[in-house]
Amino acid sequence: MTMTRQDTDATRVLRALEDSRSSVRLQAALAAGSAPDPCFVRTLVERCAIESDFFVRDMLTWALTRHPVSLTLPELLREVRSERAQARSQALHTLSKIGDRQVWPAITPALLADPDDEVARSAWRAAVVLVPEGEEPGLATVLATQLGRGGQETQLSLSQALVALGGVIAPALRDATASSDPRVRAHALATRRLLRDPDTGFEAAIEEAKRIVALTGAPQGG
């Protein structure tokens, strides 16, 4: 990476964030977080939407958490409405790390049911962190509509989000175990098992739940 003496530190960081080498971008994101500057915020957010390297994305999020929320939140809230799935997902992830509950209204049912699994998973995690006190039961009801969705990794993410809400999820899980969809019933039963016994592995819990559903052939209540 060629630098001229006239380049300022901030300009060098901004240029490095666009470098073709992930190692250079990683160092640039680290520098942006280590010496926060308002001029970094928009570029950091924009880079999150297109960055291909997981470790760089993680560092970009860290760098954004080091900047004032008055600067980062407007940019991130704009990104959660982006047409680009990675932009939505990474913005939600960053909002969960910032943890400012004033952004809760942006965690819409549409995001919680986003057709892209990565976006939905980020939304679930963010929602659990940002939900205002007293609104957990309503969130549990919305999250329960996603039971049975996707593969094991996606289902694990949803179960973890639900379990993090605690006992308020019991009514939503009870309703889900009466679903006509065996995948929904199995996922609800596995999540209930995790709520009761957090040390149970998800793979074991879901396999046991599938066996119960297959054996009974009918919704499981209670």
Asked if 193 and 177 count as a contact pair (C-beta separation under 8 A), the reply is no
> Would 117 be classed as within a structural domain?
no
- Enclosing domain of residue 209: 137-222
The per-residue pLDDT for 210 is 87
Which tens digits make up the pLDDT trace of 152-163? Answer: 999 999 999 999
Per-residue buried b or exposed e for 58-79, using 16+ beta carbons within 10 Å of the residue's own CB: bbbbbbbbebebebbbebbeeb
Helix H or strand E encompassing 77: helix 69-79
Domain count, the chain: 1
The per-residue pLDDT for 93 is 97
Does pTM surpass 0.75?
yes
The per-residue pLDDT for 60 is 98
> Would 127 be classed as within a structural domain?
no
Which tens digits make up the pLDDT trace of 24-56? Answer: 999 999 999 999 999 999 999 999 999 999 999
Torsion of CA 70, 71, 73, 79, to 10 degrees: 160
Which tens digits make up the pLDDT trace of 75-96? Answer: 999 999 999 999 999 999 999 9
